Amino acid sequence: MSANYAVVLAAGQGTRMKSKLYKVLHPVCGKSMVEHVIGQIEQLNLTQIVTIIGYGGKQVKEVLGKRTEFAVQQEQLGTGHAVLQAEQILGEKKGTTLIICGDTPLFKAATLADLFAYHQQQKAAATILTAKAPDPTGYGRIIRDQAGNVAKIVEQKDTTPAEAAINEINTGVYCFDNQTLFQALHQVTNDNAQHEYYLTDVIEICQKSGQKVAAFAMKDFNESMGVNDRVALAKATSLMRQRINETQMRNGVTLIDPQNTYIDSDVQIGADTVIEPGVVLKGKTIIGENCLIGAHSQITASTIADNVTITASVLENAEMAEGSNIGPYSHLRPQAKIGPRVHIGNFVEVKKAEIGADTKVGHLTYVGDATLGRHINVGCGCVFVNYDGINKHHTTVGDYSFIGSSSNMVAPLQIADHAYVAAGSTITGDVAAHDMAIARGRQVNKAGYYDRYPVAKAAQQAEQAEKSFK
């Protein structure tokens, strides 16, 4: 049976990145380069995907999991040697094999499908995906004969000046007749400037043995971009960002300033949501319809329902229900669950706490390890005191209760429904329904004491000065 396969090359160390992180694991818009590649080829319904891993391969395996099979290249002896490691899995099989590098994150499934189609239509043994590069430096060059047929690929370091001037480049993506590929790979030598076994030499081997070699020229060079260093990483990120932002806008999201909006590739946003400049949306964040995400908000792995307003705030692993709002300058930390129509005002921090529908936490408050019911008002400057230095403790506040400003709720603590905490209280014991708790020193007024203080003298002088001006 004839089938389609893919080999993803991801064993190179990526020395030019100068990084402890394995090259293909460097993220582009929140997702590693190799995941971008796998994500696209998964859309091609292939029979098998084999990823070549080597140095640092354990982490690549963890990231890709069951999405691909793996073959290990113990020593990085070149791209040809890398593909050969898939021989045990694919060598005998009949069909077409797509080869793609793990450091080319921008390829789209549609382009790869076009390559497959062209390869099959041409009945070629090998088809190279090529592009015209404004600056071909670093890429392998496509050498064509006088009839315009591909003769070979020459790597940058092996080029003559005339070859170096050619701007048609090898994108590093190919379709091969599978059995021809593995036969040819055994003939590749490392007789070149880098002493590596080049996959690209297979082209000349096929050509010389009379097999048909085709080339499919893609239009958008940017899509083929390979990332070998941090400069290219930034360029790829910028191109990917532009692509993501365009998709979001076409889906009905308003971006006030797309050049300055940073949305990771797995973020989902509903129609009619408006994103202001400087917003950063990371991880698997989901935002509903008709929300307003205000300037400079940062949202990571959070779920935001419809009609939510976020003003200059930071959210991580948090949830906000329909119609709620937050900010400016507030912080939702992991496991903050904000209920429907809840108002979180400015300078509020919420951590591992659930806040029920229609509750208000307006200003300068810390809510940690707590469950708040519905229709509660938490005054200004309250602290849910959750930590005794060793352990965290929990506070519960029931529906329709009122927490006066500047109160401390020392956990573990239960405040019932319809309970009232007087302002300035430090509450250390449970409060029953319909009770009022007050825990502060009683006020004492000392007659005439004002005049004992230096402020009194200063006030007197100021008043005299005012009079003399009149």
The contacts found for 151-155 with CB under 8 angstroms, 24 or more apart, are 151/204, 151/207, 152/200, 152/201, 152/203, 152/204, 152/207, 153/128, 153/198, 153/200, 153/201, 153/203, 153/204, 154/200, 155/192, 155/193, 155/194, 155/198, 155/200
Q: Which is nearer to ligand UD1, 50 or 350 (CB)?
A: 50
Ligand-binding site membership of 398 (annotated): no
Pick from 172, 356, 362, 368: which binds ligand UD1 (CB under 6 A)? Answer: 172
Q: Whole-angstrom Cα distance, residue 31 to residue 45?
A: 22
Pick from 5, 107, 182, 198: which binds ligand UD1 (CB under 6 A)? Answer: 198
List the x/- string, 79-118, binding to ligand UD1 by CB under 6 A.
x-xx------------------xxxx--------------
Residue 19 in the binding site for ligand UD1 (CB under 6 A): no
| Catalytic annotation, pick one of 119, 343, 363, 393 | 363
**Strands of the sheet with 360-363, listed across from one edge:** 254-255, 274-275, 292-293, 309-310, 325-326, 343-346, 360-363, 377-378, 402-403, 420-421, 436-437
Other beta carbons within 10 angstroms of residue 443's beta carbon come to: 5
CA 112 to chain centre: 24
Q: How far is the CB of 70 from ligand UD1 (least distance, A)?
A: 12
Ligand-binding site membership of 9 (annotated): yes
Residues 6+ positions from 244 with CB-CB distance below 8 Å:
29, 263, 264, 265, 267
Ligand-binding site membership of 78 (annotated): yes
Inter-residue contact 106 to 220 (CB < 8 Å): no
Ligand-binding site membership of 386 (annotated): yes
Pick from 9, 267, 326, 355: which binds ligand UD1 (CB under 6 A)? Answer: 9
Query: How does strand 95-101 pair with strand 168-177?
Result: antiparallel
Q: Which is nearer to ligand UD1, 103 or 358 (CB)?
A: 103
Q: How far apart are the first and last CA of the chain?
A: 105
Query: How does strand 298-300 pair with strand 280-282?
Result: parallel
Interaction site with Ca ion (CB under 5 A): 103, 226, 228
Cis peptide bond upstream of 136, omega within 30? no
Q: Which is nearer to ligand UD1, 24 or 239 (CB)?
A: 24
Residue 164 in the binding site for ligand UD1 (CB under 6 A): no
Q: Is there a catalytic annotation at residue 36?
A: no
Residue 10 in the binding site for ligand UD1 (CB under 6 A): yes
Residue 52 in the binding site for ligand UD1 (CB under 6 A): yes
For 276, phi and psi rounded to 5 degrees? Answer: -85, 170
Interface residues for ligand UD1 in 55-74 (CB under 6 A)?
Answer: 73
Of 123-131, 169-177, 292-300, 398-406, which part binds ligand UD1 (CB under 6 A)?
169-177
Ligand-binding site membership of 30 (annotated): no
Q: Whole-angstrom Cα distance, residue 327 to residue 31?
A: 29
Which candidate, 292, 282, 340, 270, places its Cα nearest to that of 316?
282
Ligand-binding site membership of 23 (annotated): yes
Say which entry of ligand UD1, Ca ion, none residue 398 contacts (CB below 5 to 8 A, set by partner kind): none
Ligand-binding site membership of 241 (annotated): no
Ligand-binding site membership of 140 (annotated): yes
Which residues are near ligand UD1 by CB under 6 A? 9-12, 24, 52, 73, 76-79, 81-82, 101-104, 139-140, 153, 155, 169-172, 198-200, 226, 228
Known binding-site residues equal 9-12, 23, 73, 78-79, 103, 140, 155, 170, 228, 333, 351, 366, 377, 386-387, 405, 423, 440
Q: Which residues are annotated as a binding site for acetyl-CoA?
A: 386-387, 405, 423, 440
Give the residue numbers marked as catalytic.
Answer: 363
* Binding site members for UDP-N-acetyl-alpha-D-glucosamine: 9-12, 23, 73, 78-79, 140, 155, 170, 228, 333, 351, 366, 377
Annotated binding-site residues for Mg(2+) read 103, 228
